[in-house]
Amino acid sequence: MADAKQIVRRLIEEPWTGNIDVIDEFIGSGYIGYDPSAPEPISGPDGARTQIQQYIDGFPNGRITVDDQIAEGDKVASRWTARGTQTGEVAGIAPTGREVTVSGLTISRLEDGMVVEEWTTWDTLGMLVQLGAIPAPAQA
């Protein structure tokens, strides 16, 4: 499973360092991804590329770092942290110049060395609060 963990790490981190072609290398043609920020499941390598590119465009200096990984069977769980400054539009939000840090968890399922299915959950609300798009929750 070391190879599977490395494949998933590359898919999470490398698009943010300029290697978006890693998607074509390791995302299967029948890929389906589930992300709370996407209105519908993400389909295929092109869908994955579009989903990631919108955040790269919004946070061009952004980076995602895999903090921890666990592998079992055909699945790899990756806990990650994303950091960046919003200098481009993202999710309909005009550039704010604000820095954000969010964390997330992605569970990736692999077949024959390719990621074919993923479930991602991340702090979308935290990003929106940090960008000032919605008010911070009231303190109790």
State pLDDT tens for residues 47-102.
999 999 999 999 999 999 999 999 999 999 999 999 999 999 998 999 999 999 99
Considering the domain boundaries, does residue 140 fall inside one?
no
Burial tier of 135 (Cβ tally within 10 Å: 0-12, 13-18, 19+) = exposed
Residue 113 lies in a domain: yes
In a domain, 135, yes or no: no
Give me the number of domains the chain comprises.
1
In this prediction, residue 2 carries a pLDDT of 63
Whole-number pLDDT of residue 1 = 58
Give 90-133 pLDDT, tens digit per residue.
989 999 999 999 999 999 999 999 999 999 999 999 999 999 99
d(Cα 138, Cα 49) in Å, to the nearest integer?
36
| 121 found inside a domain | yes
pTM of the model: 0.92
Q: Which domain holds residue 47?
A: 2-130
